Structure 1
Amino acid sequence: MKGIARFILYTILGWKMENDFPKEHKKYVVIAAPHTSWQDFPIAILARMSSGTMVNFIGKNSLFKGPFGFFFRGLGGTPVDRTKNNNLVDAIVDIFNSKEEFKLGLSPEGTRKKVEKWKTGFYYIAKGANVPIVMATLDFENKIIKISKPYFTTDDKEKDFKFFYAYYENIKGKNPHLS
């Protein structure tokens, strides 16, 4: 599968990958931004498959219903009910703590729409599970997927978020007006 994914991503679609997912850490949170199109998902899955690194994801409940539920679960997805007020951060921290190896990919925007401010769940998951954050981009303008080195959060949330936002500063998503 790795070879097929590489062929599709690099040869057919013309993408390049700068760096790879870190191999020295068995657990981390991957944040991918900007998330502006449905096309982000298949490109991200191909990048993950090309690298041979399993990165799980969560998605809205409706994606996992009907005929496509098995497909998204097979790709490493877990449904979440965003209409209920449940403590998703604690639940995901428990998953990290129960596994020897676990990587979770999230969109810090939480949607494909334009947002003024990112959601903070990914940050509190990383802090609670004591795992680093790896930043990933899908730069559609240049067809480059960038993966950062692991970043361990500090006790200064404002400083950490400035660092995150700076990493994504000039990245153009599929729909730049939504970035």
Structure 2
Amino acid sequence: MKLTMYNTPGIRPLLKSLCAISLKLTGWRLKGNMPSEAKYVLVAVPHTSNWDFPISLTMAFVFGFDMHWMGKDALFKSWRGPIMKWMGGIPINRKCANNVVAQTIDAFNKTDRLVIAVPPEGTRSRVATWKTGFYHIAMGANIPIALAFLDYKRKTGGFLSTFYPTGDITVDIKKIRSHYIGICGKHANKCTVE
């Protein structure tokens, strides 16, 4: 097992306490329940700001699960690399999208416990359609999709529900997106679901 902030001896209880205090002081509340399954893809919607990342990590600690995330490989260059990996980061080369899906499915198949967060928008900018890699990963690894959210308007974040893909990607993506109607990102004009 790779050493991360979630399994470094003595770090988890300390960070969990600090994260709980931080959320309370900033007025954020947790909502919903994380999936009971040990493995799932966590879709993080909406993704409109760099603030989504630290708030999501903070909430993961308070909920009590190890959240891994994919980031562009440029984030892992030089001195930042070991820090990003320790924080649960997995570097990806966006030019090889199909390879990322296959490698992620393989990672899920090789372990008993894994949560990987994927923002389906793929960017902090507004997009018309979501990238579907998260869906193909869930189908290929035969795992559910956790519908996670950050609502800046209500200062709540957490889980909406757990979605079990059927294989009908068009219908399933439409159903998944419908859960996010009315949820407001930090920059509302960049939200892809309204």
Q: TM class by shorter-chain length?
A: over 0.9
How does the TM-score come out when normalised to structure 1?
0.95
Which of 96, 99, 102 in structure 1 is aligned with 2:108?
A: 96
- Per-residue CA deviation, residues 22-60 of structure 1 (Å, 9 max, x unaligned), is 2x2000000011100000000000000111100111100
How does the TM-score come out when normalised to structure 2?
0.88
Partner SS state of residue 8, structure 1 = helix
Partner SS state of residue 79, structure 2 = helix
Instruction: Report the residue type matching 1:18 in the other structure.
Output: K
Displacement of 1:161: 1.0
Displacement of 1:155: 2.8
Partner SS state of residue 161, structure 2 = coil
Residue 175 of structure 2 is aligned to residue 163 of structure 1: yes
Displacement of 1:67: 2.5
Task: Report the counterpart of residue 71 of structure 1 in structure 2.
Answer: 83
- Per-residue CA deviation, residues 52-79 of structure 1 (Å, 9 max, x unaligned), is 1001111001111122222211111110
Residue 59 of structure 2 is aligned to residue 47 of structure 1: yes
Instruction: Report the residue type matching 1:63 in the other structure.
Output: L
CA distance in 2, matches of 1:125, 1:142: 31
CA distance in 2, matches of 1:72, 1:4: 19
Which 5+ residue runs of structure 1 have no aligned equivalent? none
CA distance in 2, matches of 1:62, 1:69: 9
Which of 28, 40, 60 in structure 1 is aligned with 2:72?
A: 60
Instruction: Report the residue type matching 2:19 in the other structure.
Output: A
Displacement of 1:4: 1.2
- Per-residue CA deviation, residues 112-149 of structure 1 (Å, 9 max, x unaligned), is 01100000000000000000000111000110003033
Task: Report the counterpart of residue 3 of structure 1 in structure 2.
Answer: 17
Instruction: Report the residue type matching 2:108 in the other structure.
Output: F
Task: Report the counterpart of residue 17 of structure 1 in structure 2.
Answer: 30
Partner SS state of residue 107, structure 2 = helix
Structure 1 stretches of 4+ with a deviation exceeding 6 A read: none
> What's the % identity of the aligned pairs?
37
Instruction: Report the residue type matching 2:25 in the other structure.
Output: I
Residue 92 of structure 2 is aligned to residue 80 of structure 1: yes
- Per-residue CA deviation, residues 70-111 of structure 1 (Å, 9 max, x unaligned), is 221111111011134651111100000000111110000000
Partner SS state of residue 104, structure 1 = strand
Alignment: residue pair count: 177
Displacement of 1:3: 1.3
Residue 43 of structure 2 is aligned to residue 31 of structure 1: yes
